[in-house]
Chains A and B, each alone.
Chain A
């Protein structure tokens, strides 16, 4: 019976497209980003001072930090969508990104005048920021998990967490065009918390959703 199966499988063999995994992941990224951007523009809107903000370092650090997390997450997803794949190196990259951000945040706190310190940590949206990031990331997370299922993740919790990092990174990146905050400690704390929420969502749902 097994020999017959091997015969049938061999007869139906077709050449495999190169970079198949990367290609399958491209669609959810593009599709998810379109949906998330649309949601951000419709529900929240870009920050009113986006023109002048684009001239500040804080704006680009925010954009850079979140985008870097998204890239590390994408790398981890690409590795963990394969049986036996290891996310050690993407994990290391994530740790480096977070460490760099922490150093920048501490410097930002130290450099702020004492009466501004509360503002650079709490801003005016600390309590909503993580949840808005998580909310915006949900369509991305769903699209990424759906694409991963058609690949072959074998460590489902980790793979789900990687999907969360990727979705949360991209979601936070989109959110950064709305977010009016300029404080670097704010970014390090509340953006990171938002991404952590999405990582947790991904890890928890991955266990069942990613089964194939």
Chain B
């Protein structure tokens, strides 16, 4: 889809045309996906889809900042680039925790036979956290939902979900030791 078509869809979307909007987001998704995949390396590659979703969410919640006298492509690209830089900054600062460490813990072969027990342990541990933090961890870490989806479901911003998960895990580590 070229800029002219995208621009038409964007203008219609701003006027409230849901089907134009669906086509717009659908058309933007593949280029966003390949953009993020090309730029994420090593252990960050699995965040590409997260970033696609976060970018779509940002396009949605900040769509009023689109200036119809400017190209849509430039606007979307700037948002995508911002989201990418944001992720890399967090990763560099070391505040980023791989998304699957708790899942690995549960999937650990040595405790597979005690699956139910492990699950109960996790429930007990999560029970010591504030409700929204526990819910965020459950969604993102245990049920494998993306940050963006969790944000949609809980009404929190993507950033708050990430922070809640991060703080929660940190609190659990403090309480229950490094085995978390």
**Chain A residues packing against B (C-beta within 8 Å):** 1-2, 4-17, 20-21, 81-85, 151-152, 154, 211-212
- Please state if B49 and A84 are interface contacts (CB–CB under 8 Å): no
Chain B residues with Cβ below 8 Å from A16 are: 14-16, 63-64
Chain A residues with Cβ below 8 Å from B14 are: 15-16
Decide yes or no: A1 and B49 within 8 Å by CB, A15-B15, A15-B16 being known contacts: yes
Chain B residues with Cβ below 8 Å from A9 are: 21, 25, 56-57, 60
Q: How far is the CB of B9 from chain A (nearest CB, A)?
A: 12
Q: Can you list 29 contacts pairing A with B, beta carbon distance less than 8 Å? A: A1-B49, A1-B145, A2-B29, A2-B52, A6-B26, A7-B22, A8-B152, A9-B21, A10-B18, A10-B22, A12-B60, A13-B60, A15-B15, A15-B16, A16-B15, A21-B65, A21-B67, A81-B65, A83-B62, A83-B78, A84-B70, A84-B74, A84-B77, A84-B78, A151-B62, A151-B64, A152-B62, A152-B65, A152-B79
From the candidates B16, B64, B82, name the one contacting A154 in the complex (CB within 8 A).
Answer: B82
Chain B residues with Cβ below 8 Å from A82 are: 65-67, 70, 75
- Please state if A154 and B78 are interface contacts (CB–CB under 8 Å): yes
- Please state if A84 and B159 are interface contacts (CB–CB under 8 Å): no
Chain A residues with Cβ below 8 Å from B86 are: 211
B165 at the interface (CB under 8 A from A): no
Closest to A151 in B: B65
From the candidates B53, B64, B159, name the one contacting A21 in the complex (CB within 8 A).
Answer: B64
Q: How far is the CA of A15 from the CA of B81 in the complex (A)?
A: 26
Chain A residues with Cβ below 8 Å from B66 are: 82
Closest to A84 in B: B78
Chain B window 85-106, contacts with chain A (Cβ cutoff 8 Å), 1 for yes, 0 for no: 0100000000000000000000
- Please state if A2 and B53 are interface contacts (CB–CB under 8 Å): yes
Chain B window 11-45, contacts with chain A (Cβ cutoff 8 Å), 1 for yes, 0 for no: 00111111101100110010000000000000000
Q: How far is the CA of A212 from the CA of B157 in the complex (A)?
A: 9
- Please state if A6 and B22 are interface contacts (CB–CB under 8 Å): yes
B58 at the interface (CB under 8 A from A): yes
Chain B residues with Cβ below 8 Å from A21 are: 64-65, 67
Decide yes or no: A212 and B159 within 8 Å by CB, A5-B149, A82-B65, A154-B78 being known contacts: yes
Q: How far is the CB of B89 from chain A (nearest CB, A)?
A: 9
Q: How far is the CA of A64 from the CA of B46 in the complex (A)?
A: 55
10 cross-chain pairs, A with B, having the tightest CB-CB distances, nearest first? A15-B16, A84-B78, A20-B64, A83-B78, A152-B62, A10-B22, A154-B82, A84-B74, A82-B65, A6-B25
Chain B residues with Cβ below 8 Å from A12 are: 60
Chain A residues with Cβ below 8 Å from B16 are: 13-16
- Please state if B78 and A13 are interface contacts (CB–CB under 8 Å): no
B146 at the interface (CB under 8 A from A): yes
Chain B residues with Cβ below 8 Å from A212 are: 159
B6 at the interface (CB under 8 A from A): no
Closest to B26 in A: A6
Q: How far is the CB of A62 from chain B (nearest CB, A)?
A: 34
Question: For window 121-177 of chain B, which residues contact chain A by CB distance below 8 Å?
Answer: 145-146, 148-149, 152, 159
Residue in B56, B62, B64, B67 with the greatest tally of chain A CB atoms within 10 Å: B64
Residue in B56, B66, B148 with the greatest tally of chain A CB atoms within 10 Å: B66
Closest to B145 in A: A1
Q: How far is the CB of B70 from chain A (nearest CB, A)?
A: 7
- Please state if B49 and A2 are interface contacts (CB–CB under 8 Å): yes
Chain B residues with Cβ below 8 Å from A6 are: 22, 25-26, 29, 56
Q: How far is the CA of A82 from the CA of B78 in the complex (A)?
A: 9
Q: How far is the CA of A11 from the CA of B60 in the complex (A)?
A: 11
